């Protein structure tokens, strides 16, 4: 799986949008971008994934650049409960049963 | 519905002691993963089961680590003769679909192991 690069930490004011960047310059054409987050003392939680089109669900939006070398996870209205470590992961298509490879992620701190 | 559960949530062991960590995956989930998470790091893969078959154990750090899932549901991770470097959070994850184009892994809360 391709390596990803994320900033170690970010701050965000409550109610504002949190934009978390991820670089994956060596991504292959059959690799998806996944985002998970881990709230303190909990296991990681799936957020969203995408291949090349922008995606949105009830938790977040994922914007993938046209060359697919980077992406941004957007939490449109961050709350205190969004404080967590956010992991960007790339995985090959049709790779069920293969482990997720986590980096160190980005620690997002949301403050009031 | 019920998520992935793990027990115990916390375990303190003396160096050299054997420990057993339990994972109850979401009912019907085919795939089950164990990860180890050291302090300040992301989770790292240990082993993978598809039903009762252990298909990948390449991440187990030594032969002191052993995992089983005899009936294809509950899994146990056993660590023999624990060492201080085994102190970590042990996470279990399950996913529902075998051979899917993509899969979402659902994680339990983890077991925090401290070896003294």
Q: pLDDT band at A93, cuts 50/70/90?
A: low
- For residue A25, the 8-state DSSP code is T
* Record: contact B98-A100, CB cut-off 8 A: no
Helix and strand tally (H, E) in chain B?
0, 11
Write the DSSP assignment of B82-108 as a string of letters.
Answer: --GGG-EEEEEEEES-TT-SS---EE-
Query: From first to last of its 116 residues, what are the pLDDT tens digits of chain B?
Result: 589 999 999 999 999 999 999 999 999 998 999 999 999 999 999 999 999 999 999 999 999 999 999 999 999 999 999 999 999 999 999 988 765 555 688 999 999 999 99
Nearest C-alpha neighbor of A84 from the set A45, A39, A43, A22: A39
For A94, which of B56, B92, B101 is closest by C-beta distance? Answer: B101
A window 12-71, beta carbon within 8 A of B:
32, 41-46, 49
Nearest CA in chain A to B103: A96
């Amino acid at each position: 799986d391709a390596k990803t690069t994320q900033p170690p930490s970010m701050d965000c004011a409550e109610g504002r949008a949190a934009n978390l960047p991820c670089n994956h310059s060596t991504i292959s054409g059959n690799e998806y971008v996944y985002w998970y987050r881990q709230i303190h003392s909990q296991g990681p939680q799936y957020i969203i994934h995408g291949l090349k089109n922008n995606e949105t669900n009830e938790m977040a939006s994922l914007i993938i650049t046209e060359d697919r070398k980077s992406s941004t996870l957007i939490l449109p209205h961050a709350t205190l409960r969004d404080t967590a470590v956010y992991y960007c992961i790339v995985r090959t298509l049709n790779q069920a049963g293969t482990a997720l490879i986590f980096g160190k992620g980005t620690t997002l701190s949301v403050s009031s | 519905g019920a998520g992935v559960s793990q027990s115990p949530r916390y375990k303190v062991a003396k160096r050299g002691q054997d420990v057993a960590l339990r994972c109850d995956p979401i009912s019907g989930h085919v795939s089950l993963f164990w990860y180890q998470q050291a302090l300040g790091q992301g989770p790292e893969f240990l082993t993978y089961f598809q039903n009762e078959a252990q298909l990948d154990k390449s991440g187990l750090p030594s032969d002191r680590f052993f995992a089983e899932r005899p009936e294809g549901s509950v899994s146990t991770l056993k660590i023999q003769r624990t060492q201080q470097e085994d102190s970590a959070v042990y996470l279990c994850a399950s996913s529902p679909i075998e051979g899917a184009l993509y899969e979402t892994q659902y994680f339990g809360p983890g077991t925090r192991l401290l070896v003294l």
